[in-house]
Chain A
Amino acid sequence: MLYVVLSFLMVSLLLYVLLAGADFGAGIIEFFSSKKSQQLTKKTIYRVIGPVWEANHIWIIIVIVILWVGFPEFYNVLMVYLHIPLTLVLLGITLRGVSFVFRHYDAFVDKSQILYDWMFRISSLVTPIFLGMTFGAMVSGKIITSTNSISFYEAFIQPWLNPFAILVGMFFAALCAFLAAVLLIGEANSEERKIYVRKARIANIAVILIGFLVLSYGIINDLKFVTGFINNPYTIGLVSLSAILILPLTYCIKRAKKVKSRFLAGSQVVLILLAAMVTHYPDVIIISEGYISLTDTAASSEVINVLAITLIIGGAVILPGLFHLLKSFKMIKILE
């Protein structure tokens, strides 16, 4: 049963990163667009992401609930030591959510749109950076859980405000932009498509470049996570596979095969995330004194059993509906 819960946790996290990631990324693309294509992107985002936007973001709530129910001590460390970046993520999610509805549901279209647009774009960029910083902080080994008197800075700032975490944050934002660009390519007509193809290429280069920086910084500073990463054969395999996928992806984008290219881009991201997960499973938080393991901090088996059953039933109810929603609004064209 523990593995049922862990699979739900992993799948929810992956789906959040993919779906909400594409969603954040769309805002990032809008941020870095020229004035003319900004309006275009805005319309396309609304059409593509509008109907599923709410559902995408519930995955993070599922992740949080699974963590607090199933892995209370693990959750406790995250909530205490990463309080500040998580609060900033929340601030971003809030501003982004409301600016998204405001700009599409305001009864009059006037100057206030400019404000909503900028709020949307900036929060779309900043939120994934902080989210990525939180991921980075979990593995950067800077969290100090001993109760010895340490300063506020050491306990609550340094764990996440360090070069490694910042690089991971930027890496995550670049991944989001990449996903979104590939998604948008499929929705645009031939003229506009060129714009998104170019954006996808830029985002892809950014991903590789920043990824390279993350790794080199880790190697130079001998971070446990990174040395584990490069010495693990599975990890290397997954990352190489992800890199190889660039070739068919480029081909598919050229040929305007939109389903396949989305699928490939999604797989690339999933592979990279899996690589990161494989590296340090089950010791998912690396603290200065060692590790905090997900399996060791699991709640008692009664709790895990009930949680697993709830998740299975919930999944059986929700997934068909969600799938139908995605299909109805042509997000997934695999079935056609």
Chain B
Amino acid sequence: MKILIVEDEKELAQDIVNYLSGQNYLCEVAENYNQASEKILIYQYDCILLDLMLPDGNGLALLEELKKENKQDGVIIISAKNSTEDKVKGLQIGADDYLAKPFHHSELSARIHSIIRRKQFNSSNIIQLNEITIDLLGKTVKVNDVQILLTKKEIDLLLFFIGNKNRVISKSALAEHLSGDIADMFDNHDFVYAHVKNLKKKLTEAGYDNYIKTIYGTGYKWEI
């Protein structure tokens, strides 16, 4: 799966490439408007990560260009400008998601995963992974065809883990994912532990292999 990262900050772009490469994504980087514009018109990407403030132009203009060409690439805006107007404007033009900097790579990866899933499988709402089947529309989870009852947050966690296979996910990333911007205002994210514990318990009880590993001092990992 191909991903284009439009980001003028080289360090950040490289980090994103590093993180996503482990998830079987093929990443390309465009450092400015012109490079990005060229790549967008020539190639097709599954997902484009778009920084709004580029040295030679505005990311929103790129987005408009893309939509004019009627391209179906998924777009996630990643911006340091956490302003509601930009967000609304970006989504109106046709971005699929908006992520304010600074963000956790795991959050980004989960969102990319979700967008690609939606685009690729034509909005099919069933995710199949080993013994597990998740029906996004019905909000049901089955393990070996036996339905298990998960709370909304537990399903959220599960999807987040699936979007970050074999990656260490920090507790704060999980907390931010579960409670949004509000997590930003706390230093203590111990509640995540309770949710993960419940999820693990329910999955193991249903006979699912224990893929969720606790990593000392940092967080969790979905090992597969």
Report if A and B associate in a common complex: no
Binding site for B on A (CB under 8 A): none
Binding site for A on B (CB under 8 A): none
